[in-house]
Structure formats: C-alpha cells, structure tokens
Amino acid sequence: MAAGLRNVLLSFCLIALGGLLFGYMIGINSNVVTKGQLICPDDWTGDVGNWTSWGYGQCYHFSDWGQGILSSMNLIGATLSSLICFQYADDLGRKREVQIGAALYLAGSLGAALSPVLWGIYAGLLVYGLGIGFAMHAAPVYIAEISPAEVRGTLVSAKEAVIVLGIFGGFASGAAFAAIPQDGWRLMVGLAGAFALVMECGIVLVPNSPRWLLLQSARSAALLGSDSRFEEEARVGLTFFRRGTPAEEVESELQSVRDDACASLGQGQAGCCEAFRYPKPLRIGWGLVLLQQVTGQPSVLYFATNIFKGAGFKSSAALSSVGVGFVKLVATLFTVFRVDQYGRRVLLLSGIAMMAVSLLVLGTAFLFRECSEPVSRMEDCKQDDVRLPQGWAICTVAALMLYVSGYQVGFGPISWLMISEIFPLNIRGAALSTAAVVNFSSNITMTLCQTALMSALTPAGLFYAYLVLTVVSFGFVKVAVPETKGKTLEEIEVLMTGKRRNAPSGNIQVA
C-alpha cells in the first residue's frame, strides 16, 4: 500500500495544482486591482487608458461596480465552464478535464499578462476562470476515485489546504512585484503560467480514473458488444494507484467497481439531466455549497481588511488580514489530518457552531461603532474614521479569527469532500457540475452585493443576518447530511440511492 499510496500522492500533487492556481488568483487580486497597478494612483499625471487604448505602462480608472466586475471575471468564467462540464464532463473524463483546465490557465494568465489593451486583460482573466471551472470540477472527483477509502477524506480535504496555500503564494507574489508601478501586476499574473505549464506536462504521467474507465467500458459493451480497451486500461491504472497491494486485492476492488458501473448503466443510459433523478444527493450537495456562501464566508474574507479598519486597526489592517490567512491555513490542516478520524458530520457541525458564535460577537461589537470625527449620522462617517472601543476591537479580531477557523474546519473542505462522495458513478460528473454552478454563482452574487447589503443593513445587521443563516445551516446538516466516513464510494451510493448493486459484471445487453 505504501508504494501505491505514493503514486496516489504524486497524482494528487499534480491535480491539486489546479486548486493552487485558483487560490493564487484570489491572493493576487487585491494587488492587481489596486492603485499603482491597474488603477491609477491619486497623484497620477500621465495618460489614463480606456477600453481600446494600446500600450504597456497604462493605468485605468474604475468605478466601484467596475472593480467588482473585474475581480469577478474569474468566477464568471468558472461558472460558464461548470455549465460545459454539466453537459460533457462524463464524456471527457477526469484526466482530460484537468488537461483542459491547465491549458486554459496557461492561455488566460499569459493572455492577460501580455495584453496591451484593457479588453484583452478582461478576456484573459475570463479564460483563466474557465480553467478554474474545469480544474476544480475534476479535482475532487478524480482524487476521490483514485484514493483508498481510509485516506479519501484526508486527500480530498487537502485540496482546500492547497487552495489556501495558493492564496499565500498570491500574497507573496503581490509583495514581491508591487514595487513595479503599473506593470508589476503583469508579473504576478504571468507567474501563474509557469505552474500551469508544470500541471499540463505532469498530468500526462497520471493514469485515468479507473472508475470512469470502467463506466466507459460498460457503456461501450452495451452499445457495441464486447470492448476490453477501457477495462484493460482501468486494470493498469488501478494497479498503478495500488502498487504494492496484492494482486488479488486489486482484482477484488476492480470487480466491485465493475459491478457498480454495470449496475449504474443498467438503470438506463445517463444523460446530463439524469442527475436530477437523484434528489437526495442533489439536495445535500446544493445545500452545502449554497449555505457555505450565504453564511458570509466570501464577503467576510474579501472585506477582512475593511473589517479590521472598522475595528480601529487602520495602518495594520492589511497585515492583520495576512494573519487571518495564516489562521485559515492552520484550521484547514487540522481538518485534513482529522477528517477520517472524527468524520464529516462532526466537523461540519463543529465548524458551523464556531461560525455562529463569532458572528454573534461581530454583530454585537459593530453596534458600538464610533466616529473619530463629529458627524450627525454614523453612515456619514468615513471608513478611515470608524473605530470601536478597545475592548470590542479586540473581541472583533478574535471573532474574525474564530469565524475563518470554523469555516475551514467545516464548510470549506468538507462540502467538496461530501460532494465528491455522494453522487452515483454514472452521473457523478454532471451532478458535481451543477453543485459547482450553484457555488460559483452564489459566490459572485454575494461578492457583488456585499457593499449594497452593508449599506442597507449596517455591518451589525449584516453579521446578524449571516448568523440566522448559520443557524439554518446547522439544522440542515443535523437533519439532512449523513456520515460517510470509512465507506467505499459504492457503499455510499447504496446509502444515497437505496439501491443495492446486484447486477452481473458481464456485458450488459440492451434490447
């Protein structure tokens, strides 16, 4: 098992580069869309670029709405490619999806970094986002399908840790290149192309998912009669991933997966809309990814610097945000190494409870906001003049750290782990893409609406609204989400569908 697990870990590292590049773009975003880089500084006296003006060294003026759209181009692209995956993922296969994602990462990063016009920058970031959709759709399924049951939770959860590591890489890249005015952002974005090239070349060395191959074998046998190409490739791939395991154990696992693939196909040829015939796993998957977004995580993390400013940490707010990132990484690593010991439900419920406590403190603390300058209404106070009493300021920082820790203990890694496990084999790709669309679209919505919600509800009201949704999330997990720790993917499929696999492993004949 040790040598085989080594091959699984090698494959994981190459596949998880897609998550690293996703996190990297999140990390550099605030250093790209900032004054002195894409945005003209306050003392800028040169020409200001427009949509079609040609040349390097340009800077631009953006409205608040324009900045939001530019920052969301990656998520928009990811949503579009998730829709493509819904239709074609199970035909493409997990490995080919990763290859397409790596190629789009490479084209998008170089396209944006080298573009001398603004519309080309937008297009490059959109293409990069398309890569995010393909890579992040394939990664949890691919990792889950090649991993032994006893370490599957650890490895799928570790993908979230790689995303956080990418965020740190983005922070470091921003610090390294921010001193180059107007064009430093090009180096930040272009650096992603180097990792994308490694990902594109390295994934060639990794076999296809044996589970996906056996599903293709069953489909091919049903349509054409006997076809052993996919089955032999699946045997070679599973032997690679289980190198060091006795041959009879490998053959036994192969037989189990073959039976599951045949029985899945025996229920009927699965089209892209077949996913909607399985309401239980779909309800769980959609619920988890929607609730992880509407409980405030993207908003709280994206506006962490402003939260620290509101707490009175003006000049050190950006540094404090880096501290949040460090806490986020530590909490993620805790989940990675404990998920297969404590189980999915325990960590989900614990993390959501931590988020609820922190949101209660944050909402209460911001009721005591003060303005250092005399104003008739608190809404008229400038952001840099907002402060909290010292005691509440300390509570705010502690609560924010608890919030991101709770998210990374629960929703962050566990949601995608559950989604990679709960869908039947024959619709796994299409079903996961619907969850990805829900995730990315709700992320975009929450990011774009954050400022408007903050103005309409006040910071305290917004945190209390997130608190209510967190309580709803706790109830949802308590009632609807089962425990999958230690179960094989085939056993989880029985749990989700209630249908046992008794079909023969031979060829399926269709009338």
Type of residue at 284: I
List per-residue pLDDT tens for the chain, 511 residues long. 445 588 889 899 999 999 999 989 988 887 788 778 888 887 777 778 888 888 888 888 887 677 778 888 888 999 899 888 877 877 888 899 999 999 999 999 999 999 999 999 999 999 999 999 999 888 888 888 888 877 888 888 888 889 888 887 887 887 788 778 888 899 999 999 999 999 999 999 899 988 888 888 877 776 655 556 788 888 888 888 888 888 888 888 888 888 777 776 654 444 556 667 778 888 998 999 999 888 987 666 555 655 666 555 655 555 565 677 778 888 888 888 888 888 889 999 999 999 999 999 988 988 887 776 666 666 666 655 666 777 777 788 888 889 989 998 999 888 888 888 888 877 777 788 888 888 888 888 887 777 677 778 887 888 899 999 999 999 999 999 988 888 887 788 888 877 654 444 344 333 2
Contact 151, 97 (CB under 8 A): no
Classify residue 22 by burial, with Cβ atoms within 10 Å: 0-12, 13-18, 19+.
buried
Residue 117: phi, psi to the nearest 5? -125, 150
Query: Tokens for 35?
Result: 């004054």
Rounded Cα–Cα distance for residues 501 and 504 (Å): 9
The residues, ordered by sequence, that sit 6+ positions from 319 with a Cβ below 8 Å of its Cβ are none
Tell me how far the alpha carbon of residue 400 is from its chain's centroid: 21
The residues, ordered by sequence, that sit 6+ positions from 509 with a Cβ below 8 Å of its Cβ are 222
Please name the residue ranges forming H helices in 312-382: 317-342, 344-365
> Residue 323 carries which DSSP code?
H
Query: Tokens for 42?
Result: 């306050």
Find, among 331, 398, 387, the residue nearest to 361 by Cα. Answer: 398
> Residue 429 carries which DSSP code?
H
Contact 462, 454 (CB under 8 A): yes
Type of residue at 327: V
- 35: which strand partners? 39
Query: Tokens for 75?
Result: 């998520």
